[in-house]
Homo-oligomer: A and B are copies of this chain.
Amino acid sequence: MSPPTAPFITDWLRARAAASPDALALVIGERRWSYKQLDQLVDQTAAWLNTLDRPKNYRLGVLLPNGLEYVCLVHGCARVGLVMVTLNTRLTDAELQWQMEFTALELVIGEDREWGEEHGVKLVRPPKFDEDVSFEVSKIASSRPQSSFETIQSIVFTSGTTGRPKAVPITFGQHFFSATASAFNLGVDVHDLWLSCLPLYHVGGMAVLFRSCLYGTAVDLHARFDIEEINRALDTKPITLISLVPTMLLRLINARESWPSSLRLVLLGGAATTPELIARAEMHHLKLSVSYGMTEAASQIATLLPDSVRQKPGCVGRPLLFGQIKIVAENGKPAATSEYGEIWVTGPNITRGYLDQPQINAQRFVDGWFKTGDIGYLDEDGDLWLVQRRSDLIISGGENVYPVEVERALRQHLAIADVCVVGVPDLEWGQIVAAMVVVEPGQSISAKELEDFGRGQLAGYKIPRLIDFVSELPRTASGKIARQTVVDQLSTIHSPQPKF
């Protein structure tokens, strides 16, 4: 007897609309949809998708900002059996071209771009529900006859700051286990309303959609981090959960005096959280939950709950249910407690490998473990501390230098407002340690003074050889420090190229 539910199990919106049709599903601005209403819009979307030429490889590119159309396409692709390739709207045409070729896309649903035949990919505008377009819903058909936990839901590109991004196939099973493990860590309130301004083309944004659908709770979706809009939502809607990266939280803390009593958790991810930010959040009586996640894990790997965040600022906690973490030292053996090493992870939320990267996969997916390349350690409680993301590690003269360690040391100087330490390519050393520094208003410090200050705390090879003073650090639109931009700018200083 075959599993009775296999044909249904990946159309989660359909299942949810059957289980709780009248529950609130989605809020965008002042507009609201119940699960039944959203299900009907997705029926229309699915019927519309069936009118398009079906891609031979079942892959459909999506190049849209957050919005109703995107949500409907996420569920519509699941309904008709298309694999969504989520394209970053902030990329240039040339960057997109590479990603579209790599995933052999034939068709992209997009807007705000104009292109013709030059990319070899057909660009189609999404359906506009506002215009009351209706499609023959009876014509919904699935491309793939059967679906299961192993079915690929989407292909998402990593947002790595060095080298080409890698394409990560994400299955429905990964999303499901990620969502259940998160539920059984953070709890679920049937009245949850989750504010998300994370882009849906990244796994963190997509995960909020799937979690809410599985839980039967609602998402308050924002196109971007617009501080006025977010503040208005917090002031007028019963928001219970909000997903932010640290810089967004800092901006909100600077802009608000009080917070709604409905807010039960602030979920921080995407970048390291400083003890200062945690202390400020504490003064605002916010309940912070800090996560370590990545595209390859369909979002969270480890999450620290609010009670522990206060006790261990900077820690990211334990792996979620069914996940495991081990730290492997440089000699390839398990690291001792508190010893730095590479973070290896396993669990049902981890991808089986990158798309079309057999060599990288052979190196990084070993015996069921994924070698993240990130550096961290486990403390005596088994809690994970993240030392350095893979892409940020500096190797100078054969020595590993962890930028956060250098940053932490330099930041202790009273004249330093902010600092970013990176590795800059160097013929002799491979990389040299370099720092971009923002000085506190009214203070001053020379590069020599800062070097001397660092020498009191750091081994010689960790002292920045190059220090650049700037008025502010370059940041991405989402507020993260743009490390690659820092590398690029400091590289120009280190070995100036003639500009033609």
Interface residues of A (CB under 8 A from B): 1-5, 8-9, 15-16, 18-21, 180-181, 183-190, 214-216, 305, 318-324, 346-348, 350, 352-353, 365, 368-370, 382
Roughly how many angstroms separate A180 CA and B322 CA in the complex, as a whole number?
A: 14
Decide if the interface of chain A is mainly helix, strand, loop or mixed: loop
Please state if B188 and A9 are interface contacts (CB–CB under 8 Å).
no
Roughly how many angstroms separate A178 CA and B491 CA in the complex, as a whole number?
A: 56
A327 CB to closest chain B CB, in angstroms? 15
Please state if A4 and B320 are interface contacts (CB–CB under 8 Å).
no
Roughly how many angstroms separate A347 CA and B15 CA in the complex, as a whole number?
A: 11
Q: A4-B346, A368-B2 known; A9 and B187 CB under 8 Å?
A: no
Q: Which B residues are in CB contact (< 8 Å) with A18?
A: 318-319, 324, 382
Please provide the 8 A-B residue pairs with the shortest distance between their CB atoms, ordered closest to farther. Answer: A4-B368, A4-B346, A187-B190, A19-B321, A5-B348, A188-B188, A187-B188, A1-B352
A279 CB to closest chain B CB, in angstroms? 24
From B1, B183, B319, contact of A184 by CB (8 A): B183
8 A-B pairs (CB sep. < 8 Å)? A4-B346, A4-B370, A5-B348, A9-B348, A16-B321, A19-B319, A20-B318, A214-B321
Roughly how many angstroms separate A323 CA and B322 CA in the complex, as a whole number?
A: 24
Please state if B321 and A216 are interface contacts (CB–CB under 8 Å).
yes
Please state if A8 and B382 are interface contacts (CB–CB under 8 Å).
no
Q: A180-B180, A318-B18, A321-B19 known; A185 and B3 CB under 8 Å?
A: no
Q: Which B residues are in CB contact (< 8 Å) with A324?
A: 5, 8, 18
Roughly how many angstroms separate A94 CA and B283 CA in the complex, as a whole number?
A: 68
Roughly how many angstroms separate A320 CA and B214 CA in the complex, as a whole number?
A: 11
Q: Which B residues are in CB contact (< 8 Å) with A187?
A: 187-190
Q: A21-B382, A184-B183, A185-B216 known; A348 and B318 CB under 8 Å?
A: no
Roughly how many angstroms separate A495 CA and B388 CA in the complex, as a whole number?
A: 84
Q: Of residues A4, A187, A188, which shows the largest number of chain B Cβ atoms within 10 Å of its Cβ?
A: A4
From B4, B214, B350, contact of A348 by CB (8 A): B4
Please state if B185 and A318 are interface contacts (CB–CB under 8 Å).
no
A495 CB to closest chain B CB, in angstroms? 43
Roughly how many angstroms separate A181 CA and B190 CA in the complex, as a whole number?
A: 12
Please state if B322 and A9 are interface contacts (CB–CB under 8 Å).
yes
Q: Which B residues are in CB contact (< 8 Å) with A323?
A: 19
Q: A184-B214, A187-B187 known; A369 and B4 CB under 8 Å?
A: yes
A346 CB to closest chain B CB, in angstroms? 5
Please state if A350 and B4 are interface contacts (CB–CB under 8 Å).
yes
A388 CB to closest chain B CB, in angstroms? 24
Q: A16-B321, A183-B183, A190-B187 known; A4 and B347 CB under 8 Å?
A: yes
From B15, B180, B216, B348, contact of A3 by CB (8 A): B348
Roughly how many angstroms separate A347 CA and B18 CA in the complex, as a whole number?
A: 13
Q: A180-B180, A368-B2 known; A322 and B188 CB under 8 Å?
A: no
From B1, B21, B184, contact of A216 by CB (8 A): B184
| 13 new A-B contacts at CB < 8 Å, known A4-B352, A183-B183, A216-B321 | A1-B365, A1-B368, A4-B370, A5-B346, A5-B347, A8-B324, A9-B348, A18-B318, A18-B324, A19-B319, A19-B323, A184-B214, A189-B189
Please state if B1 and A318 are interface contacts (CB–CB under 8 Å).
no
Please state if B19 and A185 are interface contacts (CB–CB under 8 Å).
yes
Please state if A1 and B348 are interface contacts (CB–CB under 8 Å).
no
Q: A1-B365, A183-B184 known; A19 and B348 CB under 8 Å?
A: no
Nearest B residue (CB) for A22:
B381
Roughly how many angstroms separate A189 CA and B183 CA in the complex, as a whole number?
A: 9
Q: Which B residues are in CB contact (< 8 Å) with A8?
A: 322, 324
Q: Which B residues are in CB contact (< 8 Å) with A186?
A: 190
Nearest B residue (CB) for A320:
B19
Q: Which B residues are in CB contact (< 8 Å) with A365?
A: 1
Nearest B residue (CB) for A20:
B318
Nearest B residue (CB) for A305:
B190
Q: Which B residues are in CB contact (< 8 Å) with A319?
A: 18-19
Roughly how many angstroms separate A348 CA and B189 CA in the complex, as a whole number?
A: 23
Roughly how many angstroms separate A15 CA and B347 CA in the complex, as a whole number?
A: 11
A177 CB to closest chain B CB, in angstroms? 8
Please state if A1 and B353 are interface contacts (CB–CB under 8 Å).
yes
Nearest B residue (CB) for A318:
B19
Nearest B residue (CB) for A346:
B4
